[in-house]
Every structure is written in structure tokens, then in C-alpha cells.
Structure 1
Amino acid sequence: MALTAVEIAASVRAGNLDPVRVTEEALDRIAAADGVVGAFRRVRAEEALKEAAAVAARPDLASLPLAGVPVAVKDVTELAGEYASHGSQAGSSAQAGADGVIAARLRAAGAVIVGLTRVPELCIWPMSDTPDGIARNPWDPTYAAGGSSGGSAAAVAAGLVPLAHGSDGMGSVRLPAAMCGLVGLKPGADLLAEGGWFGMSVHGPLATTVADTAVLLSVLADAPALASVPSPSAVRIGMSTTVPLLHTPVPKELVAAVSTAAGHLAAAGHAITPAAPRYPPTMVLGMTARWLAGPAIQARAFDGARLQRRTRAHVRAGRLVERAGLIRPRTRDHWIARAEEFFATHEVLLTPTLSHWPVKAGRWHEKGWLANVLPSTRLAGFTGQWNFAGYPAITVPAGRSVVSGLPTSVQLVARPGGESLLLGLAAQLEAANPWPRTARN
């Protein structure tokens, strides 16, 4: 895949590229590589070609922001003629009669939906494997691609598609984007709330460039102005590499990525100082309670006896949380007050995205609950608190490990409404420190 989504769409709009041919090439790449990468639960080959032909015949082709662009959607998406499995064999396989909001907006923008990407059961975990496949990191297939949008990240990082949709409840866009060397944006809860996990889960884009991220965000949010990436004026950025509250050690190369990014941002004129919010101890309890109880509520629509062993344990814990009344608005309000305190003196927070290296790829769904919880909490020390607060955050590639060859990354967080600022800062990092767009480059 040589062209970006922006380039594909521009060429299709100009009549220089045929959407059917673009889709055929994407399907060829999927057929050649997905046996190793495991990104897709379902490839819509026949349907996608028909959709591409329909895009080519649209009278408004010249105005479509994603004209003819092959896009993958996470397997939680309502798509006419398909069913969303949510990574489970315990749910309904009844086909949706109509597109949900995400699919409808993608199609309206001219995108061609080529498939549904692999997720862990009920999207609970930061590794995406199911009984019929494992989403692997294209940079090194012995590692997991992350989760829960791991299949989407693998599809983009392997160059199978230029763009993918994801959702993020505790880091589920940013973690796989970081592991696979992509840009991944979690919008604020006020922009693209997905509705799950007591408002913590939001839809978001995964892409190889900042410009592609912006255009997909603008389509998902139905907000065309977000496609324009600004050149931000100088802002105050607080930098921290300490895992909130837990203070667990962060690998040196992940810490070094933050220092490198801070140097580039300082050279662009921004003021960088060591600083972090005053994280309240109740924050961890509040977001963990929602991570447990959210899937427990979702599981009511599934056959509990057929859920995976780790999921059944998670659901039991979530029901205990519900009965104990631990979903307390004041816990979130207290954390937001602390976050607002920090953002009164800083426009942005800069941290690592990952608090540990990715886990190895494997059949994690066959393991017990604790065997999944322990590596999950090690990975996600910097992400979930911003779902809890509802603040936007973006992951940006920063380089590659000299030891493992895996990507490194940083996270930028802004106050609500700061998505354009985050895209602008990410574009400055991209210009100062260009990254290989895919593992196939």
C-alpha cells in the first residue's frame, strides 16, 4: 500500500483511480498477508467490490472525503447484512437490517468497508485473539497487535488498508496503535461517545499519518472542520513518565521516546515542563469498577454458559461491583476536578502510551482471568484515566526499539474539545520525526 487515504480519495475524486481497482488491490493484500496477521474476523470481498462500483457511479463522487478508500471496521459495528460478534461465539449471529451510525457515515463519505476486524471477547482485553484467530503485530508476528482494536491496528500497520475504525474504553485505540506504530486518536466523550462502559467508550480512528487520522475523525464525528490539521501556536505542555499512582517501572526506551518527543515540541516553540495531574487514589477504583461492570451489563445479551472462562469471571466481578454500588458519579467528578486543575496551567499532557512492552501473541482467551488481568494492567497505566475523565488523547509513533524492533510512541492529552490541537501537535512531531508508515515499508 503506497498511497495514503487522503491520496487515494483525491485521485478517485479526480478520476485518476478506479474505486473497484483500489478495492481489488486491498483484497489482494488481505488474501496474501492476513493468514499471518490475523486482522480480520470477516472479509467482505464480494460485497466490497459491489460497494466500490456503487461509489464509482455516485453523482457526488467529486465531493466525497473518503472516495473509494478501503476501510476496515471493528467487529462491534452495526453493518447491514452482517453481524457484530464482539469477539464472542456466545452472541447472536442475526444479521443487521441496516447500518449503524458509524457504517452509515463511512458509506456516506465514499468509503468501501472491506471487513470486520478481530477483537477480544466483549472488548475487555489489550490483546485480540479468538478461537478462530490471533491478531498479530505486523512488525513482529510473535507479539500481539494489542486490543481491543487489535485487528484494526494490525490491518493498517500491515498495509492491508489505509484506515480502520476502532473504539476505546480503557485505551483500546491508543494501545494497539502504539504497539503497531500508528496514529490512534481517542476523541473526547462529548464528540464520539460509543455508549458502553458508563460513557468511557468512544469511537476513534487508526491511521498511518496525521492527515489520514484527521479525515477519518471528521467523517466518524460528522464534523468536516476536523479534517483540517491546524498549525498550533505555542502551548504549555506538562511531561510525565511516571505511571499514575502505581509508580511501576516503565521500560527505558518508552521513557526515552517521551524525551525525544519533548525535544521536538520544544524546538517547535512549545514550553515543556515536568508536570502531571494530582491523580486521586479513588480514580483507579472508579475506572476499574466501570471496566468490570460495563461488560457485565453487555453480557446480559449473550449466552453466559458459552462465554470464555476469563469473561465469565470478569462478568461475575462486574455484577458484584454493580450490587455494591461502586459506580459512583462523585468518584469521576473528583477526578475531573483534579484534571481541570492541571489543565488550568497546561494545555497538554505528554506521557508514554504504553507502560510496558506488548505481550506475546497467543491464545489468551484460553487462559484464566488473573492470567489476563496482570499483563493488561502492566500495559495500560497511562490510558484508562482519560476515558474515565472523558478527555481526548492521541498516540503518535516516536521510533523503534533498538532491542526488539517494536515501535515506540507517546501520548498527548488535551482538555475537552482539544482534538484539533492534538492533531496539530501530532503533525509537528510527524514533520520533525517521520515514521515508516507500515511494517511493509
Structure 2
Amino acid sequence: MGERLHAFTDDALGDDDAVGLAERLRRGEVAGTEVRDAVAARLDRVDPVLRGLTLGRLDEPVTGDPAGPLAGVPTLVKDNTEVRGWPTTNGTSAYFPRPSRAHSAATAQLLASGLDLLGTSRMPEYGLNASTEFARADPTRNPWNPEYSSGASSGGAAALVAAGVVPLAHANDGGGSIRIPAAACGLVGLKPTRGQTAPNAQGAHMPIDLVSDGVLSRSVRDTATFLAAADRNRRTPALPPLGLVEGPAPRRLRIGLVLDPPTGAQVDADTRSCVEDVARLLEKQGHEVSPATTGVGMRFVDDFLDYWGLLAFSLVTGGKLMHGASFDGGRLDPLTHGLSDHYRHAMARTPAVLHRLSRIRQHYAELFTGHDVLLSPVLAHVTPRLGWLSPTVPFDTLRERLLDYVAFTPLCNVAGAPAVSLPAGVAGNDLPVGVHLSAAHGDERTLLELAYALEADRPWRRIQDAAAAPW
């Protein structure tokens, strides 16, 4: 068994979640300077090993709205999201990052909720991988066992939230990039409906927008509080009002249990057991659970891979246009080049791929005529050891490994639908396993109510309940 590495201690942060810390700040029980000092000390303790931080700005934070529900709570912004005056690397060394000229819409939304921005968190190159690993730099490590992956692409955020450095952190999701690291690190990770939160700058330029912004947290109420603030500050007329969801609801839901991924991958025994255990708990809570299928297969998987390759191809061929003369395509990771080369051979299929993917939203909506929620694994197997998904692995091998791992999450990105990863249990190697709940467009309320009920009946395992490792 690997040993855990965390930073929880008796300081200004304590073991509060974001809502609890915000309440103590409002009551004057702790000062913002004390909180930032605690974050700095915790980073010093764990980040030399975990490597979750890209840029630290603890001495010159960007402070949020003092009237926001999370006022004064420290957080980190994912390193693909612009903060005025801060460089944004997108996880790559292929260009020289310049300070951003303005806040992105996602950054403005974080600040409106009251959060204080103390730096940026690491991610793999352009978010293309499912592990936060690099060809020319040390990986980000999982605090539950630093020999293992923290997931991706919001892997730095997940590692530092799970280790107790900050209560929650910004994340975004274009194929599972909130939910995958949440599952790997034992966190709550909700990917909102497309349009529920501020539009993502990268997603807005995609032929089919896959990306939604949100947070990674250690409690359901933190995620619910952030989403309520986002809903209040920026209403989306096409979606139903969300408001603040504060607990479970006494509704009996029809839950479809999906255990077979469209990739044809085999779900490992530990993951399957944890998901089936959650299904039994949901039945005990009074819900109706029955077998279900997503109705998509390898055609969808192949189309999504072609589309992923299109995104990499646009980076390889358009890097100088996006990032300026300092861009050097030769410094891109082998995975980025492999995906781009894959697309070169698939280019003729582009019109058909885009047509089929654009129709997925309608297909997805039809799944919820007979179900209120779909329950599945987040991933087909427990998070792997570092190196298994390294971008330096030969592309054909890495592609198959990724398809065998990221087997459930992309459907909600293409459909633009909400989904959440929740801690479901523990694998035989003592690493967290996540369960995936997805719902109809705009129905974050049902997901949050169900998450509250699961959290109450089976509280998440806490990393701080075990001794920290002597790293």
C-alpha cells in the first residue's frame, strides 16, 4: 500500500470546506491574511512532491467580491483560464506565455462568488490527456498515493484540493476533465450543463463546444454554493433556474444503471463493485434502479477520437496564430502530435463526424424519457500508476489505454449535459473510486439532491484520517 500525503493541520484553514471557512471569515474568527499564510505553509509541505501548482500569487492575490457567498475563500485557477496580469501556459512549454490582458468570463464568475485567486493549477498539455503528465517535466502526483496519477486535465487542482491546500479549486471539463480527477482523488466534481456557467473561451471556438467550467470540492454544499452564485450572477434563459440546493429531496427517482461502456472496455472488479454498491444504497433510499444503456457504441467513440484529433491538429497547425512567434511546434508533447497525425488520416470524415456528433444532444435527451438519472462508473478502472498514460508512450498504445480508461465521460460533453463524479468507495490498492451520475440538460438540481443523500448516508473517506506520509 502507498502512503498518503496531505497538509491538513490545526491552522487557519483547519479541515473546513469552503462554506465553513467563508462562515468563519464572515464572523471574524479568522483573517484573510491568516488563511493565505496557511495556504502558503501547506503548499510548502506537500507541493514539492505533488507538483500541483503552476503559478503562485499568494502575496498579490486577485480578491473576489466581499459580498459573495464564498468571500475570502482561497482558490486556484486552472492554467488554461485567463487572469488579468497572469501568464497562461495551457500546460505546454511550446510557447512563451505573456501576461493576460483581461479576465476570462470564467475568472469573473469565480470572483463574483467571492473567491480569492492565489495562483494557477497544473494541467497536461492543452488538456488532451487523462493524466497530468508531461514529456519534459515532472508529473502531478495523487495525494492518496504519490506513485499514482491524479487524473486530468484538472489534475493539479484535484491534487491540491484533496491534499487540503485549498478547500476548492476551479476546473473545466471537455471530455471528463473535472470528473476524472475527482474520481482519482476522492472529490466532488460536477460538470455543469453547457451554458449553466460562464462560456469557456476555448470551447466557444470549437465546432462543437465540449467545455464547461466548474469547481472541484470536498463537499456537495461547496459545489452547490458555487453553482448557485453562478446562477444568480449570470442567468441563462434557456435553462431552468437552479438556485441554492441545500439538501436531498424526498423524490423517488428512476435510475438507470450503466455498467458497459461504449468503448467495449472491461470495467475492473473494484470499480464495478463500488458502483453496484452505490446502486444498492440508492435502492435502499427508495429509488428504482434498473439496467440501462447509453445507446451509443464504437461509432461514437471513433467520432469523438477524430474530433479530439481535430482539436490537436488545430493546435499543431495554428499554434503561431494563437500564441505568437514564440510558438515552437517541435516542443509539443508526442501525444499532441499523435492525435494531430491521427486526424490527418481522418480528415475526409470531418463533415460526417461533425454531423453525427451534433445529433448526440437529441439522442441523449431521449435517454431521460425513461430515466431521471443514469448511474455508471466514471472510469473503467482505478487511476493508474504514473507512466501508464505518459504522453511519451507510443501513440497507438496510449490511444488504446485512454479508450480503455476514459470510457464513460465524453458523452455528456458532446451532449452538453450535466454529470457529477462522487466518491464511491475504495479499491483494493486503497485508492478512491468514483461513481458517475448524469441527468437531463439543466437538471443539476437532481444531481445535487442525490449527491447530498449519498454524502449523508455514506460520508466520503477523508485523507486526513490517516497519518501523512514521511515524504
Please give the TM-score of this superposition, normalised by the length of structure 1.
Answer: 0.91
Displacement, 1:91? 2.4
2:60 pairs with 1:47:
yes
Aligned to 1:202: 212
Deviation readout 1:331-354 (Å, 9 max, x if unpaired): 124433432332101011000111
Q: CA RMSD in A?
A: 2.1
Q: Which residue of 1 aligns with 2:444?
A: 419
Residue 217 of structure 1: how far off its partner (Å): 2.9
Aligned partners of 2:266 and 2:404 also within 8 Å: no
One-letter code aligned to 2:194 = A
Whether 1:339 aligns to 2:344 is: no
Q: What SS does the aligned partner of 1:288 have?
A: helix
Stretches of structure 1 that go unaligned for 5 or more consecutive residues are none
Q: Give, in whole Å, the separation in 1 of the partners of 2:298 and 2:138.
A: 38
Partner residue in 1 for 2:417: 391
What is the aligned-residue identity percentage? Answer: 32
Q: Which amino acid letter does the alignment assign opposite residue 120 of structure 2? A: L
CA distance in 1 between partners of 2:288 and 2:234 (Å): 30
- 1:123-165 per-position Cα deviation (integer Å, ceiling 9, x unaligned): 1001102333311111000001011111111011111111011
Equivalent residue number for residue 12 of structure 2: none
2:295 matches 1:278? yes
Match of 2:113 in 1: 109
Q: Would the aligned equivalents of 1:157 and 1:439 in 2 still touch at CA under 8 Å?
A: no
1:418 aligned partner, one-letter code: D
Per the alignment, residue 90 of structure 1 pairs with: 94
SS at match of 2:48: helix
Within 2, Cα distance between the matches of 1:341 and 1:98?
A: 40
Q: TM-score, normalised by structure 2?
A: 0.86
CA distance in 1, matches of 2:273, 2:183: 15
Change (3 A) 1:282 1:227: same
- Tell me which moved more, 166-175 or 290-299: 290-299
Match of 1:400 in 2: 426
- Taking the aligned partners of 1:35 and 1:439, their CA distance within structure 2 comes to 19
Q: Which amino acid aligns with 2:117?
A: I
Partner of 1:144: 149
Alignment match, 2:322: none
Shift of 1:181: 0.4
CA contact 1:230–1:421 (8 Å) conserved in 2? no
Matched, 1:263 2:309: no
Maintained 8 Å contact 2:274/2:426: no
Equivalent position SS for 1:95 = coil
Instruction: State the Cα distance separating 1:291 from its structure 2 match.
Output: 1.3
Superposed displacement of residue 100, structure 1: 1.2
For residues 183-227 of structure 1, the C-alpha deviation after alignment (integer angstroms, 9 at most, x for no partner) is 101111232342435311221211011001112233455459544
Say if 1:263 and 1:397 are closer, same or farther in 2 by CA, change over 3 A: same
Structure 2, unaligned runs of 5 or more = 1-7, 9-14, 236-241, 320-326, 467-471
Q: After TM superposition, give the deviation of residue 94 of structure 1 in Å.
A: 0.9
Q: How far apart in 2 are the matches of 1:254 and 1:377?
A: 16
- The corresponding residue for 1:237 is 255
- Alpha-carbon distance, 1:327 to partner: 5.8
Contact 1:37 / 1:141 at 8 angstroms: preserved in 2? yes
The answer as to whether partners of 2:382 and 2:433 remain within 8 angstroms in 1 is: no
Q: Which residue of 1 aligns with 2:306?
A: 289
Deviation sequence 1:32-68 (CA, Å, 0-9, x none): 11011111112222223xx46xx6xxxx73x321111
What is the rounded CA distance, in whole Å, between the counterparts of 1:361 and 1:155 in structure 2?
17
Measure the CA separation in 2 of the matches of 1:296 and 1:338.
28
